[in-house]
Structure 1
Amino acid sequence: MRVQLKHPARLALALAFGFITASAAAAQEPTPEPQPAPAPAPEPAPAPEEPAPQDPAPEKCEVVIDAAGVPINAEPVTVKASFSRDIGQPARAQVASESGVRVLSAEPDAETPLTFTLTLDTSAGNAGDWAIALEGEGGACEGTISVLPASAPPSR
């Protein structure tokens, strides 16, 4: 079926009515309100000021014994103890009291810097790994010394 418009004015009227209806419908749609701007983020709190370090802590000093282990022996045993930094002349050298080892003397080694010769009495020693400490006028050093069990005398 075909619709014929007999009057060109009717066509113009229909088109005008369509435009008016469309624009009126668009005018009735609510206009979106502008969104408020997001609130600015709060400033982060300033970090607390750290006090400047006065003097850095001295590095830890370690004692290294040249022997893999010190045997329990009736006679005094001599070993060399090396340090990782200078501690000056030792005022005191000692091995953990539970070890039963006594330090008889601690003398600077004339040939090797940062090394002392220790003379130890191991006659009452107990086998195991024990703490050893040497303190000097310039600091202290700590380490470990291994006390080995007494070897049995050779059998005949």
Structure 2
Amino acid sequence: FEPRYRFSDRFLVVLGTDLSLRNNMFGYVGDDGVDVFLGQRDVRSLETELTASFNFDPYKAIDLRFRNSWSVADYSDDIFWILNDDGSRTLFDYDTEANNPNQNFNIWNLDLSFRWRFAPGSEATLLYRNQIFNLDELATLGYGQSLDNLFAQPTQHTISLRITYFIDYNNVKYLFKSS
């Protein structure tokens, strides 16, 4: 689901969301150096993205991109296998008390960038990125509680400047010719 709204010729906002529920899948749980363990799991994923772009003129623009991705793998059915050498599986009593296979993954990104096209094919981009990441074994948490845990994590801030300059060979080929 991704509605778009163009406020003007210069300002565009896009909101995207995707919910995925996959039950009774099997996936990798872990290994002990000798055996590989697989398990039956239910996976819930929710991804939300908000993008906004404002063009000052044909050469300069500011972009905002917010993204939150949440995914939970819940092995509460307690069905586990050992992967055999021939690729088949054998049921196994996996110790979930000692090795909790459940996963709760949540990430938040916010990118704010200023783009300037200063020559044909050439661009300077100043980017600010704010990121928070959390991975734990609390698969029974709902989205709101998982988000609360996410915001308790330290925030990473990044600023970068990228300059790309296009050199047209036809304009500089005389520099490479021998006299």
TM-score w.r.t. length of structure 1: 0.22
Larger RCO, structure (CA 8 Å, separation 6 or more): 1
Compare the two structures and name the one with the higher helix fraction: 1
Compare the two structures and name the one with the higher strand fraction: 2
Structure number, greater radius of gyration: 1
TM-score w.r.t. length of structure 2: 0.20
